[in-house]
Structure formats: structure tokens, C-alpha cells
């Protein structure tokens, strides 16, 4: 019996052990499950539970303003409203009110000015797992009138809350610098994108307990987290200077039938960008123009000042000159001979003047923009040293300007540079630059050799309601980015030579009497598909003033002007003259010339037409078309002579003295005008106005003429004109 009892006890113990083991396993599983639910998934389930008995409304932060350096508003945010859908509650509302989806979408569409089908699509939205959405944005940035209309519908599940909308009060003004926002209110381009985190601020939220109908409980405690508004961004841009540049760019594009125009104005001593214009542009208030493809919109939004690169042409001779002066490869007494072409490694390269410039000094090859001379200069400097100075000037790398999408130009490695490459690099071909990249290097010549990062941020700040003024939180430190790359004495010497380019050389149409402007023109043929494109040019001008101690630098680029008149000296330099003059007046910069002298230098040059032999009234009408005044002796009915001989170049508005007689007979002698830089069309018009004819050789612009300027010839004479593709 004891034996049976013992066996029974053992079996009972085994069963007990198994039971305990099973219970332990169950409890251990429950423990793991609870651990997973409470610890691993705790935050998720807690948030889910909270979402079921609370409602949360995001309170948008007000985006900071964008101001110019003088506090003028460029971009502001206004309080508007948004409409969101709590779909679970809205479905319950539809059930209680016996409304179909079609009926509900129709109600909301009418209130918001939307299409019923679009509202229905939003309401029927699905999650990635195929389940119906529980929340959706119906429409953002609506005005108060629409918000009140939606509220008046009294539909549970339709939430109307505050929102902000960005306004650009000046429309297209400064568009590429400012950029614009996407549908979520985040920066998409320009400084809106670059400084999005600074401008955006931090949204707040309002969390309240609700009942099962999603209505707020009367005695619950709301948790409110206030939004932190974004900071104001104060730009280096000066609204007045920007306006000057905007108008000049618009006119240059229209006058030259150009594809695009870019103008940049800077302070070379601290890197401040005072103006930056690209035409054509867009309205940041409505950047997505109807009828344009995505590619067309991207091209329109692109800030060509920083994102596009090109072969700069003769403006690059400024950098070659710095390298030559600093290495001692040239000096003011150096002599060069230009025969119109030269041969390197079996390749013949032409100067823009095919007949040649003859014997020239270093200053002459700058004034004449002689490719032959600069090929000699490049060879004297050598490919290694020239490339070293090109890189010192910042080419081949981004400038670091605070704008998105900056591109860096291409600088050929010295080991790959052939003698032919060295020659073309010296006068502005082969390597590529962006507009801002070039002007940054040009600034180093203007400021005594310091390479300074260009920038648009002047200060970040906020508006203080108590003091009723803007308060600066931080200021951009331009000194921290400056580094000495050129010798100050050599850059001063070069500036004096560049002043002669404007006063006597190819940049003479930028000259303003009494103001010492230094600069350089460049006319570059556009490259594409591995070759240069016929009839497509880029005309550029870079200038600084006053030359001895520059306070302002100006860069002009005219892309694909009318191929009948593409020479930079003819089309880019006059734009620079206008911009400089307006800036001088605005900044009250002193001149060492009288107001009358300055005004005269700003007038256009006009070739006096031949009105002899015409009736007096007819002659007067023709002179008026040329913006020329006249005086007459009033003795006869016909013009028989003119004090200013036909073909003479005078300033617009000049008085032409007409001598009259009783018959149309007159001495048929005229003066040969200066036709250099004109295309066929303009050369023909000028010659026709004085009764001369042209015989052309070559293609491009007038590089030389068979009869010297000022020579007296008989009407009907033929002037031989040599045309070349000009690249100065």
C-alpha cells in the first residue's frame, strides 16, 4: 500500500510540476506581451488612445518677413484660414443628416469655390493599406469670407482653423532672389528655400478633450503650446538699386531682342549684393504660370546669375592681366604686334580685327581687346602660373553665395592644357564661369586683392512690438570670409588701365564725364554640342567706380541678342552707363565734372543725316527723327548746306545749323562716319542717311573700314567694310 501511495504521490507531483510549468509559461508569455504593449508599443498605443479622446489643432507659426537693407518689405505673411476634414466624424455627420458623399462634396465645393469632383476625390482618399483616410486637408490659405461660409454650414468633422499666406507685394520684383513657397508653406527657391528654417518658425498646437462626437468637453483642460514665429530676414539688397537694375534689364532685353538679361550690382568691399536681376522672370505670388510645361517653369525659376555657366570671352582678360602683372610677365612698356592672326600647333586663331592692330603696348591690348596680344601674355605667364591665378580668383569652385542651385565653372587642369588651350584661355575661351563667380573675382581687383564671399543675408532679426522697430539678432560677418589673393599695388595699376578701356577703348559707351569708371567688355560666341553656334552670342560688361577706390561694381550679361547687333561695346556698355549714372545720383556720389558736362556725356552719339537738297520742312522732320535740334537762316525754301557736315558724329539733341536757298542744288560732299562695331543693318542705315554705299567682306560686325573716319568724300562713294565675328 505504501508502494502504491508513493507512486501516486510521484504522479501528483509530476502533474503539479507540469501545471506549474505551464502556468509559469503562460505568465511569462503574458509578461512579455505586457512588456511589448506597455514598453515597446506604449508610446504608439498611448498616442492612439489620446487621439480618440482628444482633438489636436496645429497653430501655424507666422513666417518671418523678408526686408531690404532699409527695411522695405519684400515678402510678408498674412493671416488666412484653412479647411481640414476629420473623416471619421464627417462620415458620422453624413449618416446622422442623411447626406450622401455627392451631396456633402457639393456643399463644400460651393462654399470653397472648388469642383465637386475634386472634393469627392479628397473625401474618398485611401491609405497605403487600402483603408479609408481618417484626416485630409481640403483647402489651405482661404480668405475670411470663404472661411465664414464654411463655418456657417455647421458640419461636424469640417475644421476651420488659422493659416498663413505669403505675399510678395512687388510682384515680379526680385523674383529669383526671393523664390517662393510650396503648397505646404515651405521654401521652394531663392532665399525662401535657403533660409527656410530661419523664416518658418515652429508651429504650436492646441490639444483639447472631446466626447464621442468629437465635441470639446466643457470642463476639460486644453493644453496649448504657442507657436514660435519665424525671424525676419534682412537682405543686402537695396530696393532703389534693385529697381534701377530691373528697369535697365527690361529695356536691354526689349531693345536687343535678347533671350535673357542678367544684371548684378555689388559692394566689392564687403560682398553685399545690392541688386540681382534676371529677365525674363516670374511672379512669386503665382509662380506656376498656366500653359507652361514643367521644364519651362524650371527654366523660368532658375536663377541664371548663379546656376548658369558660360565661356566669358574678353572680360576674362582682366584675370589674365592680374596674373601677368603679378608674375612680372608684362609691364606698361611691354610691346606686342598684332597682324590679325597667329598660328599655334597648326591652328590659326584670328584676332577679332582680322586686319590686325599693329604694334601695341600692354594698355593698348586691353583697350583694343586684342586676342593676339593676350595669347602672347598667356604664353609669357605659362599654363601652371596662369591656372594658379585663375584658381586664386575662385574659378572652378562655388563662391558660397547664400542661394540654392549655385554651379561652379570649369577650369582645365594644367596637365591637360595644350599651347592652343593656353592661348584661348588667356582671352576668355575654354574655361567657363558663372556671372556671380566672375563678379566675385572682379571684386578682388576692385577692392585691392581680397576675395570675399558674395552674400544676400545682411541680418536676421525680429520686430519688437514694445520699441516698434526691427531688432537684429545676428549680422553676417563678411570679414570672416575674406582672403588676400592678389597684390594691392598691382590691382591698383590694373584699375588705372581698365579706366582707359572705358574712357578710350571698347567700353567707351559706359563712359560718364567726371566719374572714373573702370571696366571691360566681352563678346563670346555661345558653345553647344561641342562647337560654337552660328549667330548666338553673349555680350558682357563688368565695371567698377570710382576706379581709384571702387564702391560699386556692376555686371551686365545679354544672352543671345539680335545677331545683327551683338557687340558688347555697342549693347552691354550703354546699359552699364545707365545703371552707373542712376546709382551715382541715388548715392549722391561726387563728380569732378559739371552737371552740364555729365548730362552731355550721357547722350547717345548720332550720325548727322544728309538733308541738303530737301525742302526745309522735310529736312526739319528728318532731323527730329534723329532727336536732333536745328536752327535755320530762314532765307530760302531748300536746304543747301549744313554747318555740321553729314556723317559727322554729334550728341543727341545737338543743334544742326541749316543754310537755305531758293533751289535744291548743293555741294554733294559728306564726311565718312565711324562704323566700327555695327552690324550690316545699322551700317547700311547710317550710310544710306548720308548717301554712301557699302561693300562688305566677311560676316559679323564692322571691324575696319576702307576710308578713315572723318574723311571727306562725294555722295555715292563706296566704303569697303570688313566684317568679323567680334569677341572683345
Domain span including residue 210: 57-234
Distance (Å, whole) CA 275 – CA 326: 32
Three-state DSSP at 360 gives strand
Distance (Å, whole) CA 180 – CA 166: 8
Rounded average pLDDT over 113-129 = 87
**408 and 292 both lie in a single domain:** yes
Q: How confident is the model at residue 2 (pLDDT cuts 50, 70, 90)?
A: low
pLDDT at 207: 55
Beta strands at 701-705 and 223-225: parallel, antiparallel or unpaired: unpaired
In this structure, is residue 49 part of a structural domain? no
- How buried is residue 236: exposed, middle or buried, by Cβ count under 10 Å (0-12/13-18/19+)? buried
DSSP 532-565: EEEEEEEEEEEEEESTTS-SEEEEEEEES--TTS
Dihedral of CA atoms 87, 90, 92, 96 in degrees, nearest 10, equals -160
Rounded average pLDDT over 399-425 = 95
Rounded average pLDDT over 165-185 = 93
pTM for this structure?
A: 0.84
CB–CB of 377/324 below 8 Å? yes
**524 and 427 both lie in a single domain:** yes
In this structure, is residue 78 part of a structural domain? yes
Helix axis angle for 568-587 and 239-255, nearest 10°, is 160
**34 and 121 both lie in a single domain:** no
Residue 363's closest CA among 553, 572, 506?
506
In this structure, is residue 45 part of a structural domain? no
In sequence order, what are the residues at sequence separation of 6 or more whose Cβ sits closer than 8 angstroms to the Cβ of residue 286? none
Distance (Å, whole) CA 67 – CA 191: 11
Composition of the chain by helix, strand, coil, percent to 5: 35, 25, 35
**206 and 282 both lie in a single domain:** no
In this structure, is residue 172 part of a structural domain? yes
**195 and 161 both lie in a single domain:** yes
Q: Where are the beta strands (DSSP E) in 450-567?
A: 450-451, 457-464, 469-475, 483-484, 518-528, 531-545, 552-559
**622 and 570 both lie in a single domain:** no
**593 and 481 both lie in a single domain:** yes
584-612 pLDDT per residue, tens: 999 998 888 888 888 888 888 899 999 99
**346 and 434 both lie in a single domain:** yes
Of the chain, the percentage scoring pLDDT greater than 90 comes to 59
Return the H-helix or E-strand segment holding 74: strand 73-86
Tell me the sheet residues that pair with 126.
132
Q: How confident is the model at residue 489 (pLDDT cuts 50, 70, 90)?
A: very high
CB–CB of 364/506 below 8 Å? no
Distance (Å, whole) CA 232 – CA 455: 16
The cell numbers describing 117, all together, are 469632383
Catalytic member of 105, 307, 314, 329: 314
In this structure, is residue 47 part of a structural domain? no
**Average pLDDT score over the chain:** 89
**595 and 614 both lie in a single domain:** no
pLDDT at 391: 97
Residue 301's closest CA among 448, 127, 181?
181
In this structure, is residue 80 part of a structural domain? yes
Q: How confident is the model at residue 212 (pLDDT cuts 50, 70, 90)?
A: low
In this structure, is residue 114 part of a structural domain? yes
Residue 401's closest CA among 480, 269, 306, 308?
306
651-688 pLDDT per residue, tens: 999 999 999 998 888 889 999 999 988 889 899 999 99
CATH number of the domain to which 695 belongs: 3.30.10.20
* Domain end marker among 234, 267, 283: 234
pLDDT at 479: 80
The cell numbers describing 240, all together, are 532703389
CATH number of the domain to which 275 belongs: 3.40.710.10
Three-state DSSP at 660 gives strand
Distance (Å, whole) CA 140 – CA 184: 9
**163 and 307 both lie in a single domain:** no
DSSP 38: I
In sequence order, what are the residues at sequence separation of 6 or more whose Cβ sits closer than 8 angstroms to the Cβ of residue 296? none
**274 and 305 both lie in a single domain:** yes
- What values do phi and psi take at 348, rounded to 5? -95, 125
Distance (Å, whole) CA 364 – CA 380: 17
The cell numbers describing 90, all together, are 464627417
**492 and 533 both lie in a single domain:** yes
338-351 pLDDT per residue, tens: 998 889 888 888 88
CB–CB of 594/619 below 8 Å? no
* Domain end marker among 234, 268, 288: 234
Q: Tell me which residue has cell 563678379.
A: 439
Of 22-31, 77-86, 246-255, give the lowest mean pLDDT range.
22-31
pLDDT at 567: 92
The CA radius of gyration of the chain, in Å to the nearest whole number, is 37
On the question of pLDDT at 209 being above 70, the answer is no
In this structure, is residue 464 part of a structural domain? yes
The number of folded domains in the chain is 5
Distance (Å, whole) CA 314 – CA 429: 8
Annotation says 314 is catalytic:
yes
Amino acid at each position: 500500500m505504501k508502494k502504491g501511495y508513493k507512486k501516486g504521490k510521484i504522479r501528483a507531483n509530476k502533474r503539479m510540476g507540469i501545471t506549474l510549468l505551464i502556468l509559469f509559461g503562460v505568465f511569462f508569455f503574458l509578461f512579455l506581451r505586457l512588456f511589448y504593449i506597455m514598453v515597446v508599443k506604449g508610446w504608439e498605443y498611448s498616442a492612439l488612445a489620446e487621439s480618440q479622446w482628444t482633438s489636436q489643432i496645429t497653430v501655424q507659426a507666422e513666417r518671418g518677413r523678408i526686408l531690404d537693407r532699409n527695411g522695405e518689405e519684400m515678402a510678408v505673411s498674412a493671416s488666412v484660414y484653412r479647411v481640414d476634414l476629420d473623416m471619421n466624424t464627417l462620415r458620422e455627420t453624413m449618416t446622422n443628416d442623411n447626406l450622401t458623399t455627392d451631396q456633402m462634396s457639393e456643399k463644400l465645393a460651393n462654399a470653397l469655390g472648388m469642383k465637386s469632383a475634386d472634393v469627392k476625390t479628397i473625401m474618398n482618399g485611401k491609405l497605403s493599406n487600402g483603408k479609408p483616410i481618417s484626416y485630409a486637408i481640403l483647402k489651405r490659405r482661404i480668405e475670411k469670407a470663404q472661411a465664414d461660409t464654411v463655418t456657417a454650414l455647421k458640419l461636424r468633422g469640417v475644421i476651420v482653423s488659422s493659416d498663413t499666406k505669403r505675399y510678395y507685394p512687388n510682384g515680379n520684383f526680385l523674383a529669383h532672389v526671393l523664390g517662393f513657397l510650396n503648397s505646404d508653406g515651405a521654401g521652394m527657391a531663392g532665399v525662401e528655400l535657403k533660409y527656410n528654417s530661419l523664416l518658418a518658425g515652429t508651429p504650436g498646437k492646441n490639444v483639447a478633450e472631446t466626447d464621442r462626437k468629437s465635441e470639446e468637453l466643457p470642463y476639460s483642460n486644453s493644453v496649448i503650446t504657442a507657436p514660435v514665429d519665424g525671424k525676419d530676414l534682412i537682405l543686402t539688397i537695396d530696393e532703389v538699386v534693385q529697381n534701377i537694375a530691373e528697369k535697365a534689364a527690361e529695356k536691354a532685353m526689349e531693345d536687343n531682342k535678347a533671350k535673357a538679361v542678367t544684371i548684378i550690382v555689388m559692394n566689392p568691399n564687403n560682398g553685399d549684393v545690392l541688386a540681382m536681376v534676371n529677365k525674363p522672370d516670374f511672379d512669386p505670388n503665382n509662380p506656376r504660370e498656366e500653359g507652361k510645361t514643367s521644364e519651362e517653369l524650371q527654366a523660368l525659376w532658375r536663377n541664371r546669375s548663379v546656376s548658369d555657366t558660360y565661356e566669358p570671352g574678353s572680360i576674362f582678360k582682366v584675370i589674365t592681366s592680374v596674373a601677368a602683372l603679378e608674375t612680372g610677365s608684362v609691364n606698361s612698356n611691354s610691346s606686342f604686334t598684332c597682324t590679325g592672326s597667329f598660328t599655334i600647333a597648326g591652328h590659326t586663331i584670328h584676332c577679332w580685327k582680322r586686319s590686325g592692330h599693329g604694334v601695341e603696348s600692354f594698355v593698348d591690348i586691353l583697350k583694343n581687346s586684342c586676342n593676339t596680344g593676350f595669347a602672347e601674355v598667356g604664353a609669357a605667364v605659362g599654363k601652371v602660373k596662369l591656372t594658379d591665378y585663375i584658381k586664386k580668383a575662385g574659378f572652378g569652385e562655388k563662391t558660397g553665395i547664400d542661394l540654392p542651385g549655385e554651379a561652379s565653372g570649369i577650369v582645365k587642369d594644367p596637365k591637360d592644357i595644350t599651347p592652343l588651350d593656353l592661348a584661348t584661355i588667356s582671352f576668355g575661351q575654354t574655361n567657363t564661369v558663372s556671372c556671380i563667380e566672375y563678379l566675385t573675382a572682379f571684386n578682388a581687383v576692385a577692392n585691392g586683392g581680397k576675395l570675399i564671399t558674395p552674400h544676400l543675408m545682411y541680418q536676421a532679426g525680429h520686430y519688437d512690438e514694445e520699441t516698434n522697430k526691427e531688432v537684429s539678432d545676428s549680422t553676417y560677418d563678411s570679414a570672416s570670409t575674406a582672403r588676400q589673393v592678389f597684390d594691392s599695388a598691382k590691382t591698383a595699376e590694373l584699375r588705372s588701365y581698365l579706366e582707359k578701356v572705358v574712357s578710350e577703348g571698347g567700353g567707351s559707351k559706359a563712359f560718364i564725364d567726371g566719374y572714373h569708371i573702370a571696366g571691360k567688355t566681352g563678346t563670346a560666341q555661345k558653345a553647344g554640342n561641342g562647337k560654337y553656334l552660328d549667330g548666338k552670342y553673349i555680350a558682357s560688361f563688368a565695371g567698377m567706380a570710382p576706379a581709384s577706390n571702387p564702391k560699386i561694381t556692376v555686371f551686365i550679361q545679354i544672352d543671345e541678342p539680335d545677331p545683327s547687333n551683338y557687340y558688347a561695346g555697342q549693347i552691354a556698355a550703354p546699359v552699364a552707363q545707365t545703371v552707373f549714372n542712376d546709382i551715382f545720383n541715388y548715392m549722391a556720389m561726387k563728380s569732378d565734372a559739371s552737371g552740364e558736362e555729365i548730362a552731355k556725356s550721357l547722350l547717345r552719339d548720332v550720325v548727322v543725316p544728309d538733308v541738303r537738297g530737301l525742302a526745309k520742312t522735310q529736312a526739319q522732320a528728318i532731323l527730329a527723327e534723329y532727336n536732333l535740334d536745328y536752327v535755320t537762316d530762314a532765307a530760302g525754301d531748300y536746304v543747301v548746306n549744313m554747318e555740321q557736315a553729314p556723317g559727322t558724329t554729334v550728341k543727341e539733341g545737338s543743334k544742326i545749323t541749316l543754310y537755305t536757298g531758293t533751289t535744291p542744288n548743293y555741294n554733294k560732299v559728306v564726311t565718312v562716319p565711324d562704323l566700327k562695331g555695327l552690324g550690316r543693318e545699322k551700317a547700311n542705315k547710317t550710310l544710306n542717311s548720308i548717301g554712301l554705299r557699302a561693300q562688305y567682306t566677311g560676316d559679323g560686325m564692322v571691324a575696319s573700314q576702307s576710308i578713315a573716319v572723318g574723311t571727306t568724300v562725294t555722295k555715292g562713294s563706296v566704303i569697303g567694310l570688313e566684317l568679323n565675328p567680334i569677341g572683345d
